[in-house]
């Protein structure tokens, strides 16, 4: 695909969003990174400006539907967006909690991880369809392949993003708008830094950003990595729950954090 020159990224103040912003920054590229942490976001913006990109950062909360709509459309008014990466997400699990996740935690995870994606991509869809061009990247997770007892809301929210994005790709194909679903495994970020359990095939952020960018350039429907972990979670899907649930219940719970 043609290299995008106008890119909007949510959750860009840290983690994968920050890595993608840095990997995309170059002369002639306009970047609209958004995030809640103003100081961290400005640091990312400064790094991208130093690489030659024109950067207009937005301190934004993706759970605020009206605010995110206004920001996305204003960004598109300034320079029509070629690529929108709905990446903002928070992580939460059952570590240290007796009896599972509390209601407020579950609702907060879905509000960011699912509603935040919808709030980001739905406003721009009519404009991209009218132009007959554009690309959406919805960041899910390998955790969305199979529900893990240690992180019900996180797995559930990422599964919803994955399936929605896969269906959206087919729905929009004739319009010329392309959709890719990104399903990373463990990536070295502040989100994973709090995990107190082994993380197989943990990948450095720079490498993960390169994998995602390469997949987007090739218009891959699903950008899932690393392949050994993809194979493992795909196998988990195929095993009857009655066989595998007793083992999964023994796994440690995921800690709660944000990105």
- Ramachandran sector of residue 3 (left: φ over 0; alpha: ψ -120 to 50; beta: rest): beta
Rounded distance, CA 191 to CA 208, Å? 14
Q: And the tokens for 81?
A: 């967006």
Strand partners, 54: 30
Q: What is the DSSP secondary-structure string of 94-131?
A: -TT-TTS--HHHHHHHHIIIIIHHHHHHTTTHHHHHHH
**Cβ(40)–Cβ(63) below 8 Å:** no
Q: Whose structure tokens read 């207009």?
A: 56
Backbone phi and psi for residue 215, each to the nearest 5 degrees, phi listed first: -65, -40
Active site residues: 154
Burial (Cβ within 10 Å: 0-12, 13-18, ≥19) of residue 157: buried
């Amino acid at each position: 695909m043609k290299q995008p020159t106008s890119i909007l990224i949510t959750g860009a103040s840290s983690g994968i969003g920050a890595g993608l912003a840095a990997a995309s920054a170059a002369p002639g590229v306009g970047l609209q990174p958004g995030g809640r942490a103003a100081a961290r976001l400005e640091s990312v913006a400064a790094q991208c400006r130093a690489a030659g990109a024109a950067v207009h950062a937005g301190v934004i909360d993706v759970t605020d539907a009206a605010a995110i709509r206004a920001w996305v459309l204003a960004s598109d008014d300034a320079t029509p967006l070629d690529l929108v990466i709905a990446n903002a997400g928070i992580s939460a699990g059952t570590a240290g909690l007796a009896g599972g996740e509390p209601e407020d935690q579950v609702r907060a995870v879905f509000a960011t991880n699912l509603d935040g994606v919808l709030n980001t991509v739905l406003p721009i869809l009519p404009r991209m369809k009218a132009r007959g061009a554009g690309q959406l990247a919805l960041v899910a997770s390998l955790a969305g392949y199979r529900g893990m007892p240690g992180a019900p809301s996180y797995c559930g929210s990422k599964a919803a993003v994955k399936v929605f994005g896969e269906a959206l790709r087919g729905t929009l194909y004739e319009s010329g708008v392309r959709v890719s679903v990104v399903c990373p495994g463990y990536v070295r970020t502040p989100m994973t830094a709090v995990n107190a359990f082994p993380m197989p095939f943990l990948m450095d952020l720079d490498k993960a950003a390169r994998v995602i960018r390469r997949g987007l350039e090739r218009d891959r429907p699903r950008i899932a990595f690393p392949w050994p972990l993809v194979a493992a979670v795909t196998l988990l899907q195929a095993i009857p729950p009655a066989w595998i649930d007793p083992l999964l219940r023994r796994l440690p719970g995921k800690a709660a954090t944000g990105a």
